[in-house]
Structure 1
Amino acid sequence: AVMRLRPVLMTATVASLGFLPMAISTSAGAEVQRPLATVVIGGLITATFLTLFVLPLLYIIFDRTKLRGRLASKTVVVTVVLIFFGISSVDAQQRISIENAVETAVKNNQQLGINEAEVKSAKLNAKTAFEIPKTGLFAENEDYRPSDKVGILKIGVSQAIAWPGLYAARKNYLNAQLKYAELNIDLLNATIKRDVKTAYYQLWYLQDKQILYKRLDSVYTMLFKTAEIRVKAGDVANLDKISAEAKMRELKAFMVQNSKEMTIQQQQLMMLLNQNEWLLPLASPLVKMNVATANINVGHPILSLQEQNVNISSSNIAVQKNTNRPEFSGRFFTQRLWGANDPFTGFSVMAAIPLFGGGAYRNKVKVATAEREVQE
């Protein structure tokens, strides 16, 4: 083993260093040379590792006469199994259909959960449209005079209420916000399906493209070997061999580039499905997509969402207009509450009119109108 260590390491090192200029080259033709040099260097490193570690371990396993204990045998077996299991697990990739991919993406999307919580909040908020101010309890003593230092004690309740149209306008405004939240879920579902299908079909296309490249690679490899044999036999010129080799290397570069693009699409699909697992499309030829004719009676989710923004702005205008209407309040009292003799009982009604703040209220209506124009 000691005698063979130096030759093995020298062979792999010299060959790897020989391909190093090709691997780091940036001159003309580097896009073809670099992938080939990278593959060769990686293969030499892997072969050296297998020669120095895996093959001796396998020899120890099968040559049981030289084992000195069961413990050592079990340790070596576990080591080799772990090595091969790790190597094979890298290439293990699960296949998934487009339907399951869309279903998984919708199920694992966290933004949908946030939107559903927003819909729930909007539903609860819509129930507050008819919110009435708190009822007041008052106690007052009035009508003091020199001849009557006791006065009149009044205990009662007071209640304020807004213009009735304000409650209806507020209800329409909150219901419009609720519908917006619901439409936002539809838009998110459509966006998820679109993105997943785009990534899936792109990956499927690249997968079929890679299969086609592999078939062409076998053809070009055979042509190169044939040209090499014919050059040795003197049937053709060396130019045919060079041309076949160039085509073969160009195709291998295309395969490497296509493999990288597949990796990018797999990462995109992993992100959309919110899974830490490498996935591939079905192992079947890419099917033609059926593009359905758009129904003009059904609006696009984005258009529906924007239309709902206009409705919210219109509802806000109605709210601001009704805010400028009068507000009412009333009070009721009676001395019967504590059993007074000849008790006083009475009530009062008040209407609050915006006499001095009319300009501010009108400007609020103008702001709401401008917001609707922006949304339109």
Structure 2
Amino acid sequence: VAEVSYDKGAAKISRDDTRRRIVVGINVRDRDLQSVVNEIQNLVESRVQFPPGYTITYGGQFENLQSAKSRLFVAVPISLMLIFILLYIAFKSVRDTLIIFSAIPLAAVGGVLLLLIRDMPFSISAGVGFIALFGIAVLNGIVLIEHFKELKLTAFDTMEALITQGAQDRMRAVLLTASAAALGFLPMAVSTSAGAEVQRPLATVVIGGLITSTLLTLVVLPVLYALFSKVKKGNSSPGASTRAIGAALLLFMLSVPLQGQENPADLEELLEIARINNPALQAAEKQMEAADARRGTAFDFGKTEFFYNRDEANRIEDVSLNVLGIRQDFEFPTVYGARRQVQNYLAAGEKNAYQIRKKQLFLEVSNTYNQYLVALETAHIYSRLDSLYQAFEKAANRRFELGATNYLEKITATSKSREIRIQLEEARTRAGILENQIQNLVRSEQPLQLATPAPERMMLEFPIVDSLPELTRYENQQLALDKQFRLEQQQLLPGFSLQYLQGDNGMTEDWFRGYTIGLKIPLLFPGQSSRIRSARLEAEAFGDQQQEYELRLETKLDRLKDEHLQQEKALRYYEEEGLQLSKAILRTAESSYRNGEIDFFQYILSLENGYEISLEYLRQLERYNDIVLQINYLTY
């Protein structure tokens, strides 16, 4: 579901008609980002009529995609041009350069085909893979063409004989070069860990391109070389081989750094990586799977007894009785159903526990990321202040040396500069600590580069208390205890035992057979009565705990709603008035100080007031987002 909202301008229409919202359903499963945004654009253009002067923009990952595409449109031509230039420098021949350059479209064919076979759309990482592929693909052409040029110095009557010999000599080198690179990318192509959505397209392009370029290079390049070359003896340029090797190494080095480029991880990506890698969440998932596996224990019939009995007391004509048999005990049939119900509710409770742990993890990651962005923005403000106060300190020292000011102004500028520097270091240290906390929570295999957008309001989603996994877990545990109470009651029902045996009495050739059916009646059951009473009391106590927890949860939600309304008012003041006042104060103070309308101390006081408004806005925004996250991920 995509939501599009816009303001029409409260000055021209009534207050109740200041916002319009359109909700459209769009299928995004197994689709690429570009087609989804195109569909949204078509729906918005067909259903929304914007007033004059209004525009609409699409941000987030789509904005990153557009930016990456524009860079890719520049990087690919530059890469191809550099490859061509390096090949020409190595061979000093446009003909040989173009022949080797033909390996690039041959490689691109394989990359596109393997993407099609694996049902992967073209993405930015796939485009980077093509750049890496182009640098690697020409290596086979360099190896092959360079050897053909060496063989031209020997005695070959026909070009066919030269090419046949050269292809045979370099087949192993070509295959090893391509297979080594392809196998190196294979783990990335089948990766399912964090960052696999970036690695798989890149590696798929490289592997597919190397397969086709290797096969076609051994066929197409010799044909092209035969068409545009003749067998003749002569002297080769003495540095051609060295230049070719150097160009090959440089091309490979150019292709490697592109493989590790990744976009910075935003909050959505951090949550997904944390869901996959966090050890505590993995442990909760395994406990959920273990509880699900315990459902099969409901139909536990115990061990089956196989026995052999040799009876010496009842001998017939000095022949002992030999008996073989099997015995199995059974509970009353309804007992197994009651056990099954208990295990079902326990498994459902463990599933709720996993959901609770995931919600707590998401809350912790989101809150830490919000604090990290605020700490970075705070550090940026202190950095601007630090630059100003350093300049003031130098100016004050210089004016004091010239006798244009007094000692008080000099030491005041120095102390304020030191104070701001300490606050700047504190903000940077806090940002570094929060970044480490995010890395520890996410537990990525490699250090992540975090996206650092400007902090902004988070969306509020009021939860439905009755559907929270915490209360659902209490309900499942309550039902499990109720079923456990009924199970203990059913333990008073009689059980059964079945026995089948065969024996040899020595009188006949055939074995005699016997059957035994037993009924197990609990005649002495004071222990079972105690267990029944204990299960009943435990179920009743847990019901009281459930009611008390639900009351605490609703009380916390009401408190958070009140705090949200209060914080909303404070934040609205800063967004509508406070930040504009801060800019006006700083702008006026700067011009007044330059024009000599205020002295140094008034200027410092104005700067502090102006920037303090911005800092207080960040503190209020951090608190507001903290409340929103506590409501969205409500737990107790």
Contact 2:273/2:442 (8 A) holds in 1: yes
Counterpart of 2:425 in structure 1 is 256
Shift of 1:206: 0.5
Shift of 1:338: 11
Contact 2:320/2:506 (8 A) holds in 1: no
Shift of 1:207: 0.5
Higher relative contact order (CA 8 A, sep 6+): 1
Find out whether 1:362 has 2:529 as its counterpart.
Answer: yes
Provide Cα deviations, 1:334-366, integer angstroms capped at 9, x if missing partner: 88999969998765543222212x111011122
1:238–1:370 Cα change, 3 Å = same
In the alignment, the residues of structure 2 paired with residue 159 and residue 275 of structure 1 have an alpha-carbon distance, to the nearest angstrom, of: 53
In the alignment, the residues of structure 1 paired with residue 401 and residue 410 of structure 2 have an alpha-carbon distance, to the nearest angstrom, of: 10
In the alignment, the residues of structure 2 paired with residue 162 and residue 120 of structure 1 have an alpha-carbon distance, to the nearest angstrom, of: 27
Shift of 1:272: 0.7
Shift of 1:132: 2.5
Counterpart of 1:327 in structure 2 is 495
Find out whether 1:316 has 2:487 as its counterpart.
Answer: no
Which residue identity does 1:366 align to in structure 2? Answer: R
Counterpart of 2:329 in structure 1 is 160
In the alignment, the residues of structure 2 paired with residue 276 and residue 134 of structure 1 have an alpha-carbon distance, to the nearest angstrom, of: 46
Counterpart of 2:343 in structure 1 is 174
State the aligned residue count: 281
Contact 2:316/2:506 (8 A) holds in 1: no
Which residue identity does 2:482 align to in structure 1? Answer: S
Find out whether 1:303 has 2:471 as its counterpart.
Answer: yes
Shift of 1:152: 9.3
In the alignment, the residues of structure 1 paired with residue 402 and residue 490 of structure 2 have an alpha-carbon distance, to the nearest angstrom, of: 100
1:139–1:238 Cα change, 3 Å = closer
Provide Cα deviations, 1:114-142, integer angstroms capped at 9, x if missing partner: 33333333333212322324555567799
Which residue identity does 2:290 align to in structure 1? Answer: S
In the alignment, the residues of structure 2 paired with residue 323 and residue 278 of structure 1 have an alpha-carbon distance, to the nearest angstrom, of: 57
The correspondence of residues 218-229 of structure 1 with structure 2, limited to 5 A, is: 218-229=387-398
Partner of 2:344: helix, strand, or coil?
Answer: helix
1:281–1:204 Cα change, 3 Å = farther
Find out whether 1:247 has 2:416 as its counterpart.
Answer: yes
TM-align CA RMSD: 3.7
Shift of 1:171: 0.5
Shift of 1:306: 3.2
1:351–1:338 Cα change, 3 Å = same
1:366–1:213 Cα change, 3 Å = same
In the alignment, the residues of structure 1 paired with residue 393 and residue 420 of structure 2 have an alpha-carbon distance, to the nearest angstrom, of: 12
Provide Cα deviations, 1:187-227, integer angstroms capped at 9, x if missing partner: 22212211111111111110011111111112222333333
Shift of 1:169: 0.9
Partner of 2:297: helix, strand, or coil?
Answer: coil
The correspondence of residues 177-196 of structure 1 with structure 2, limited to 5 A, is: 177-196=346-365
1:199–1:149 Cα change, 3 Å = same
In the alignment, the residues of structure 1 paired with residue 353 and residue 472 of structure 2 have an alpha-carbon distance, to the nearest angstrom, of: 9
In the alignment, the residues of structure 2 paired with residue 188 and residue 361 of structure 1 have an alpha-carbon distance, to the nearest angstrom, of: 36
1:136–1:294 Cα change, 3 Å = closer
Counterpart of 2:437 in structure 1 is 268
Provide Cα deviations, 1:253-284, integer angstroms capped at 9, x if missing partner: 10111122122112211211214765564243
Contact 1:202/1:265 (8 A) holds in 2: yes
Question: Structure 2: which 5+ residue stretches go unaligned?
Answer: 1-261, 544-636
Contact 1:270/1:276 (8 A) holds in 2: no
In the alignment, the residues of structure 1 paired with residue 406 and residue 355 of structure 2 have an alpha-carbon distance, to the nearest angstrom, of: 66
In the alignment, the residues of structure 1 paired with residue 458 and residue 422 of structure 2 have an alpha-carbon distance, to the nearest angstrom, of: 30
In the alignment, the residues of structure 1 paired with residue 284 and residue 527 of structure 2 have an alpha-carbon distance, to the nearest angstrom, of: 35
Contact 1:203/1:281 (8 A) holds in 2: no
Provide Cα deviations, 1:278-317, integer angstroms capped at 9, x if missing partner: 5564243112111212223421x33333333323322222
Counterpart of 1:114 in structure 2 is 283
In the alignment, the residues of structure 2 paired with residue 322 and residue 279 of structure 1 have an alpha-carbon distance, to the nearest angstrom, of: 57
Counterpart of 1:205 in structure 2 is 374
In the alignment, the residues of structure 1 paired with residue 410 and residue 292 of structure 2 have an alpha-carbon distance, to the nearest angstrom, of: 75
TM-score (normalised: structure 1): 0.63
In the alignment, the residues of structure 2 paired with residue 103 and residue 343 of structure 1 have an alpha-carbon distance, to the nearest angstrom, of: 68
Contact 1:335/1:345 (8 A) holds in 2: yes
Contact 2:502/2:514 (8 A) holds in 1: yes
1:270–1:106 Cα change, 3 Å = same
In the alignment, the residues of structure 1 paired with residue 528 and residue 473 of structure 2 have an alpha-carbon distance, to the nearest angstrom, of: 29
Find out whether 1:102 has 2:271 as its counterpart.
Answer: yes
1:243–1:346 Cα change, 3 Å = same
